[in-house]
């Protein structure tokens, strides 16, 4: 079942077509867990946004070339998502700028719903790859 762009059944709605496509690119059991994470974050007053779901090998290699990510990412098989701060995007930012509260709430919500959080990967800095959540 694809998630509808304006589906309020989940307690939130996709912000735009890109988020809709990213969410629906995930394998169904991962997408369902990500939806629970989005619900939790929204319920806590945050505005999460699914920036990436499944990536092509070409997209992933471009990320690696820029120093972000690894070649054998779970994004390649639809088992990882990058969830960023919608408010930063609305202000014209990249979405990757988030408060420590957002980063920690995302990590907790992901782990509550059986996803691993990239916040623990310190090679990316003190908050790791905070936007990354994956199923493994």
Taking only the tens place, the pLDDT of each residue in 65-89 is: 887 767 778 888 899 999 998 887 7
- Per-residue pLDDT, averaged over 112-127, amounts to 82
pLDDT band at 99 (very low <50, low <70, confident <90, very high): confident
Contact between 49 and 104 (Cβ < 8 Å): no
In the chain, the percentage of residues whose pLDDT exceeds 70 is 85
Please give the C-alpha separations between residue 94 and each of 14, 60, 91, in angstroms, as whole numbers: 18, 18, 9
**Mean per-residue pLDDT for 117-129?**
76
Bigger pLDDT: 83 or 4?
83
How does residue 4 score in pLDDT terms, banded at 50, 70 and 90?
low
Average pLDDT, the chain: 84
Inform me whether the pLDDT recorded for 48 exceeds 90: yes
User: Which CATH number is correct for 11-134, 3.30.2310.20, 3.30.1380.10, 3.20.20.100, 1.10.260.40?
Assistant: 3.30.1380.10
Q: Is the pLDDT of residue 14 over 70?
A: yes
């Amino acid at each position: 079942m694809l998630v509808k762009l304006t589906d309020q059944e989940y307690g939130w709605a996709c912000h735009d077509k890109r988020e809709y496509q990213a969410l629906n690119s995930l394998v169904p059991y991962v997408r369902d867990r990500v939806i629970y994470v989005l619900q939790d974050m929204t319920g806590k007053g945050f505005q999460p946004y699914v920036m990436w779901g499944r990536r092509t090998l070409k997209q992933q290699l471009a990320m690696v070339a820029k120093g972000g990510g690894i070649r054998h990412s779970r994004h390649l098989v639809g088992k990882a998502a990058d969830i960023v701060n919608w408010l930063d995007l609305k202000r014209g930012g990249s979405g990757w700028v988030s408060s420590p509260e957002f980063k920690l709430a995302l990590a907790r919500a992901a782990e509550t719903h059986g996803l691993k959080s990239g916040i623990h990967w310190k090679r990316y800095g003190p908050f790791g790859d905070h936007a990354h959540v994956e199923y493994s």
